[in-house]
Structure 1
Amino acid sequence: MEFFKKAKAVRFRSHHNKYLLAGDDEESIWQDRDGTVKNAKWTVEINEIGNAIRLKSCYGKYLTASNMPGLLGMKSKKVVQTLPKTLDCSVEWEPIREGTFKMRLKMAGHGQFLRANGGVPPWRNSITHDTAHRCAAKDWVSWDVEVVEISMDQFLAPKETTSDGVETKDDDSQQADNTPSEIDVTSPPPPPPPSKHSSETKKNKRHGVRANDLYSYFSMCTCPTDYHKKGSKSS
Structure 2
Amino acid sequence: MEFFQRAKAVRLKSRHDKYLVAEDDEHHVTQDRNGSSPNARWFVEPVPVSVAGEAAHFLRLRSRYGGYLTASNEPFLLGMTGRKVFQTIPDRFDSSIEWEPIGEGFQVKLKTRYGNYLRANGGLPPWRNSVTHDVPSRTTTQDWVLWDVEIVEVAPASSPSPATKPSMVDSRPTRSSSGPNLESSESFSAPPHKVEGRAIYYVVADDDGNVEGGFEGHSLTFNGTSLEELTHKLQEETELSNIIICSRNPLNNKLYPLRLQLPPNNATMHVVVVLESSKVAKSFQ
2:108 paired residue number: 103
Cα distance, 1:3 vs structure 2: 2.8
Using the size of structure 2 for normalisation, the TM-score is 0.52
The letter for the 2-side match of 1:39 is N
Query: How many residue pairs were aligned?
Result: 157
Are 1:75 and 2:89 an aligned pair? no
Corresponding residue number in structure 1 for 2:20 = 20
| CA distance in structure 2 between the aligned counterparts of 1:70 and 1:136, rounded to whole angstroms | 19
Q: 1:129 to 1:75 in 2, by over 3 A?
A: same
Contact 1:71-1:123 within 8 A present in 2 as well: no
Matched, 1:29 2:29: yes
CA distance, structure 1, for counterparts of residue 77 and residue 34 of structure 2 = 24
Residue identity matched to 1:148: V
Alpha carbons of structure 1 residues 5 and 73: separation in structure 2 relative to 1, 3 Å: same
**Structure 2 equivalent of residue 192 of structure 1:** none
Structure number with greater Rg is 1
- Superposed CA RMSD in Å reads 2.0
Q: What is the rounded CA distance, in whole Å, between the counterparts of 1:76 and 1:57 in structure 2?
A: 22
The farther-off stretch of 80-89 and 67-76 is 67-76
Partner of 2:130: 126
How far off is 1:36 after superposition?
0.3
Q: Residue 149 of structure 1 corresponds to which residue in structure 2? A: 153
SS of residue matched to 1:4: coil
TM-score, normalising length: structure 1: 0.63
Q: Give the aligned residue type for 1:113.
A: Y
SS in 1 for 2:3: helix
Judge conservation of contact 1:116–1:140 (CA < 8 Å) in 2: yes
Unaligned runs of 5+ in 1: 166-235
Q: Which amino acid aligns with 2:39?
A: N
Shift of 1:71: 2.9
Q: Which runs of 4+ in 1 moved over 6 A?
A: none
In the TM superposition, what is the alpha-carbon distance from 1:99 to its structure 2 partner?
1.8
What's the CA shift for 1:159? 7.5
Identity of aligned residues (%): 54
Could you tell me which runs of 5 or more consecutive residues in structure 2 were left unpaired when the two chains were aligned.
164-285
